[in-house]
Amino acid sequence: MINAQHHLLRLNTELEQVRQCLLTTLSSSSNKSHHSLAETLHKNNPEQWLELTQKQLGTEYKDIIVRLEQLEAAVCQIDIGQYGYCCDCEEKIDSQRLNADPTAQRCGNCEPRL
Ligand SMILES: [Zn+2]
């Protein structure tokens, strides 16, 4: 099994930052409904944020939501011991790649084929 602990630390740090960024962006939005969404998120467990924000936010939030999904997926894979394997060929993803982006889902051979 791949030693994922230091990746987990990085993932959790970035998750924290991205969630904070989402809250800040919502709170400073000109759209009033985003303010109440920010309040709703604040009252809920961060693990439910993706569910709560789904379909409520426009494309301007796409990048941040996608990143949140990637980070949560990687943390989940660590939980179940499936972290660091290519989702196409199931080979180990090399550590250089995971160090560059701990949410990488494909090995160096499969990624360019996308
Ligand atoms: Zn692969």
- In the predicted model, what is the mean pLDDT of residues 59-69? 94
Quick check: is 103 in a domain? no
The two three-digit tokens of residue 8, written as one number = 């987990």
- What is the spatial distance between Cα 35 and Cα 75, in angstroms, rounded to a whole number? 28
In tens, the pLDDT along 69-94 reads: 999 999 999 999 999 999 999 999 99
104 Cα–ligand 1 center, Å: 11
pLDDT at residue number 4: 86
Task: Give pTM, 2 decimals.
Answer: 0.89
- Find the 100 Cα to ligand 1 centroid distance in Å: 17
Residue 43 CA, ligand 1 centroid: distance in Å: 40
Query: Is the per-residue pLDDT at 58 higher than 90?
Result: no
Across 49-57, average pLDDT: 88
Ligand 1 centre to CA of 73 (Å) is 17
Q: Is residue 109 part of a domain?
A: no
C-alpha pair distances (Å), 86 with each of 9, 17, 28, 53: 21, 26, 38, 28
Q: How far is the CA of 65 from the centre of ligand 1 (A)?
A: 25
Tell me, yes or no, whether 90 lies in a domain. no
Question: What's the total number of domains in the chain?
Answer: 1
Higher pLDDT among residues 96 and 112, named by residue: 96
In a domain, 37, yes or no: yes
Give whole-number Cα distances, 51 to 9, 27, 37, 54, in Å.
24, 18, 12, 5
Q: Calculate how far, in angstroms, residue 87's C-alpha sits from the geometric centre of ligand 1.
A: 7
CA of 4 to the centre of ligand 1 (A): 18
Residue 113: inside a domain, yes or no? no
- The reply to whether 100 falls in a domain is no
The identity of residue 53, as a single letter, is T
Question: Does residue 45 sit within a domain?
Answer: yes
- CA of 53 from ligand 1 middle (Å) equals 31
